[in-house]
């Protein structure tokens, strides 16, 4: 899903992509050659190219980025509108934001976990910051998400030698359940929501 949304952003050599909250940069290999990849994260992440300021902002000038990638970050920021306003500040006019965040996910700290999102909520907060959504996708529909929660809730109770086959079985069931959903139904209730949006002046 992230690969598809990045491909649709049509990154070109010489452009700059900011991975805002980059963690261990799991999507860096998806970035085309010749694109200036910049990973920014909290203090203490030695994989990051830039350290975020104490207020969570990025030490880059206004309009200096062509694409921002934000994967599973929005649920961890205490002020989502401020985070998205910073994305808007950093992007050139017409720049692209590729963002994914949690829908039906369980609680998890990293360092804290504040929010869950619906498509309506994502549309509202992005619209409030002058982003136009071009594409919205859901990952794992309701039944598949429920099975994923069940797997994650029970995994540590499974004997160690059976964990791998248990995970393979569960992932097969999750894939089977998810195929029963149309894109529209999956987008309404999903484990993860992902969006490609464009900034407007």
The 10s digit of each residue's pLDDT in 116-140 is 999 999 999 999 999 999 999 999 9
What residues does each domain of the chain span?
2-141+189-199, 142-180
DSSP string, 50-64: EEPPTTS--SS-TT-
pLDDT digits (tens, 9 = 90+) for 100-121: 999 999 998 888 999 999 999 9
User: What is the average pLDDT score of the chain?
Assistant: 95
**Is pLDDT of 89 > 80?**
yes
**Top-level CATH class of 2-141+189-199?**
alpha beta
Question: What is the share, in percent, of the chain residues with pLDDT greater than 70?
Answer: 100
Predicted pLDDT at 170: 98
Q: Is 192 helix (H, G, I), strand (E, B) or coil?
A: strand
**Is pLDDT of 46 > 80?**
yes
Average pLDDT over residues 186-199: 95
Q: Where are the alpha helices (DSSP H) in 91-201?
A: 119-128, 142-154, 163-178, 183-188
Predicted pLDDT at 22: 94
Q: Is the model more confident about 198 or about 108?
A: 198
**Is pLDDT of 201 > 90?**
no
189 φ/ψ sector (left φ>0, alpha ψ -120 to 50, else beta): beta
Give the contacts of 14 (CB within 8 A, at least 6 positions apart).
Answer: 34, 35, 36
**Is pLDDT of 11 > 80?**
yes
């Amino acid at each position: 899903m992230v690969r598809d949304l990045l491909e649709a952003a049509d990154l070109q050599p010489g452009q700059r992509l900011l991975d805002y909250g980059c963690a261990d940069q799991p999507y860096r290999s998806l970035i085309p050659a010749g694109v200036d990849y910049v990973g920014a994260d909290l203090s203490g992440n030695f994989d990051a190219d830039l350290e975020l300021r104490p207020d969570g902002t990025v030490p880059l000038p206004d309009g200096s980025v062509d694409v921002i990638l934000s994967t599973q970050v929005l649920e961890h920021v205490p002020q989502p509108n401020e985070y998205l306003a910073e994305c808007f500040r950093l992007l050139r006019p017409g720049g692209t934001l590729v963002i994914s965040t949690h829908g039906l996910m369980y609680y998890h700290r990293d360092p804290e976990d504040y929010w869950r999102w619906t498509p309506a909520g994502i549309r509202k907060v992005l619209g409030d910051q002058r982003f136009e959504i071009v594409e919205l996708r859901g990952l794992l529909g309701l039944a598949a998400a429920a099975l994923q929660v069940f797997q994650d809730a029970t995994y540590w109770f499974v004997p160690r030698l059976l964990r791998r086959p248990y995970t393979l079985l569960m992932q097969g069931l999750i894939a089977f359940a998810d195929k029963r959903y149309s894109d529209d139904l999956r987008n309404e209730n999903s484990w993860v929501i992902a969006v490609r949006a464009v900034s407007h002046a």
